[in-house]
Copies of this chain bind each other. A is one copy, B any other.
C-alpha cells in the first residue's frame, strides 16, 4: 500500500492491479483507514486520469457482490442525481419508468446537510422497508419492475468505506473520486443503462454550470470506459426543485405529479423519463419517450405502479389516496409577500435547504434523527409574478420558535425584482437525441 500511496503522491501512473488492490483492501478492511486517507488526499491533489478512474470504479464495484439481473426483463436501468434541495425525482421516475416496461433497481442514500436523500423521503411513509437484500431487490424487480433500497453492505463496500473517509478528510470534492463513487454503485447494481442528473447551483456541491459540466463530462468518459450506456443531463439547483422541501411534503408532491399535476418539477420528471426511455433503446427519440411517460401518467399506470411498489416494500399504501396519513407538523405558518410586488428573481436553494435542516428535516451530522413532517412548500418559483400580501411559502414546523427562525431565513432567501423575470425550466443541458 505504501508504494501505491507514494505513486499517487508523486503523480505517477497507477496500474490496474494497484487500484484493484486498493479497492479490494478498502472493501474488506485489510487496508487501514489512515493509509486510505493518505491516498485519498494524494488523489485529491494529484487527480486520477480517466483510465485510472475507470479502473478504480470497476474495482470498487467488484469489491463486493455485483447484482446479476439475468432473467429479469430488459432493459435494466438505474438513475442517479448528484443531490440537491427538493429533489424527489426518483420517487416519480421509478414507478413511471417501470410502468413503461423498464426494469429499475436503485440504491439510494440518506441525506446529509442541505442535500436530501431519497431514503429519508421514503422513510417518511409508515412501514416503508429500505433494507432489501440483493436477492429481495431482484425478486421484487422481477415481479413488479422496480425496487429501491438504502445502501447495502453487500454492494460496493469499498465505496462505503472510501466515502465515509472522504467525508471526514476534506477530500469529497475531487471529480475522479466523485465519479468512481457514483458509477461503482451503478455497476454493482447491475444496470446497463444509467441516467445521470448532474446538479448545478447553490443548493448542490457544484455551484457553477462550469463545475457541473466538468463533472458531467468526467462521468460520461468514465461510464464509457466502464461499458455503461449512459445519458447525462445538467439541471438547475439554484432554486429548489419543485414546491416541497422536507421529507413527507416531498412524497406528497411526488404523488401529485404521478397523479397528473403539472409543474416545472413535473416537466423535469417527464424530460428525464423521455431521456431514459430513448436511452433504453425501446423508443426512437426523447420526444417519443416523453409522450409515453405522459401517457403512463394520464392513464393511471404510473400511479398504479407506485401503489404496487409501496405495497411490495411494505409501506402504507393508503397514503396515496390519503396523504394526510403521512407525518404532519403541528405548526403551519404562511409567509406572504410584504411591501414587495413584482417578480421573484431568486430563491436561494442553499438557504432553503439549510432552513429545512434547522427545522429538523435534515441532518447536520450523520447520526442526527430526522423529523419527517417538517419542511416548506413554495407557492411561487423564480419568474412568478407576485403582489402584496400574496402567499409565498408555507412553513411546517415542530415548534413556534423553529417556525419563526425558518420564516426569517426564507424571507432572506427570496429576492424580488421590479422588472419581468423569465421563468426557467429545471433542465439546463440535455443530450440532443
Q: Which residue of B lies closest to A1 (CB)?
A: B168
Known A-B contacts A33-B33, A45-B45, A45-B46; A5 and B169 likewise in contact (beta carbons under 8 Å): yes
A321 within 8 A of B: no
- Among B1, B32, B42, which residue has its beta carbon within 8 angstroms of that of A41? B42
- Among B9, B40, B169, which residue has its beta carbon within 8 angstroms of that of A170? B9
State how many copies of this chain the complex holds: 2
CA of A170 to CA of B169, assembled, Å: 17
Residues of B with C-beta under 8 A to A36: 34
A171 within 8 A of B: yes
CA of A41 to CA of B36, assembled, Å: 11
Interface residues of A in 20-55 (CB under 8 A from B): 32-42, 44-46
Contact flags A287-331 to B (C-beta < 8 A → 1, else 0): 000000000000000000000000000000000000000000000
- Among B38, B46, B171, which residue has its beta carbon within 8 angstroms of that of A169? B38
Q: Count chain B CB atoms within 10 A of each CB in A3, A5, A38 and give the residue with the most.
A: A38
Residues of B with C-beta under 8 A to A46: 45
Taking a contact as CB atoms under 8 Å apart, the answer to whether A35 and B169 are in contact is yes
Taking a contact as CB atoms under 8 Å apart, the answer to whether B35 and A168 are in contact is yes
Residues of B with C-beta under 8 A to A168: 1-2, 32, 34-35
CA of A38 to CA of B44, assembled, Å: 10
Taking a contact as CB atoms under 8 Å apart, the answer to whether A9 and B165 are in contact is no
A430 within 8 A of B: no
A6 within 8 A of B: yes
CB distance from A306 to the nearest CB of B (A): 39
Interface residues of A in 141-184 (CB under 8 A from B): 165, 168-171
Taking a contact as CB atoms under 8 Å apart, the answer to whether B44 and A169 are in contact is no
Taking a contact as CB atoms under 8 Å apart, the answer to whether B45 and A169 are in contact is no
CA of A177 to CA of B410, assembled, Å: 47
Interface size of A as a range:
20 to 34
CA of A3 to CA of B168, assembled, Å: 10
Residues of B with C-beta under 8 A to A2: 168-170
Known A-B contacts A33-B33, A45-B45, A46-B45; A38 and B5 likewise in contact (beta carbons under 8 Å): no
Residues of B with C-beta under 8 A to A40: 38
Known A-B contacts A45-B46, A46-B45; A6 and B38 likewise in contact (beta carbons under 8 Å): no
CA of A39 to CA of B6, assembled, Å: 15
CB distance from A406 to the nearest CB of B (A): 27
CA of A33 to CA of B171, assembled, Å: 15
Q: Which residue of B lies closest to A3 (CB)?
A: B170
CA of A35 to CA of B41, assembled, Å: 10
CB distance from A39 to the nearest CB of B (A): 8
CB distance from A36 to the nearest CB of B (A): 7
Residues of B with C-beta under 8 A to A9: 41, 44-45, 170-171
Q: Count chain B CB atoms within 10 A of each CB in A1, A42, A170 and give the residue with the most.
A: A170
What residues of chain A have their CB less than 8 Å away from a CB belonging to chain B? 1-3, 5-6, 9, 32-42, 44-46, 165, 168-171
* 27 sample A-B contacts, Cβ–Cβ < 8 Å, listed by A number: A1-B168, A2-B169, A3-B170, A5-B169, A5-B170, A9-B44, A9-B45, A9-B171, A32-B33, A33-B33, A34-B34, A34-B36, A34-B37, A34-B169, A35-B168, A35-B169, A37-B37, A37-B38, A37-B169, A38-B38, A38-B41, A38-B170, A38-B171, A41-B41, A41-B42, A42-B170, A45-B46
Other A-B pairs beyond A5-B169, A32-B33, A34-B36, 19, CB < 8 Å? A2-B169, A5-B41, A6-B170, A9-B44, A9-B170, A32-B168, A33-B33, A33-B37, A35-B37, A35-B168, A37-B38, A37-B41, A38-B38, A38-B40, A38-B41, A38-B171, A39-B41, A41-B42, A45-B46
Q: Top 10 closest A-B pairs, CB basis?
A: A38-B169, A34-B37, A41-B41, A5-B170, A6-B170, A33-B34, A37-B37, A38-B41, A37-B38, A45-B45
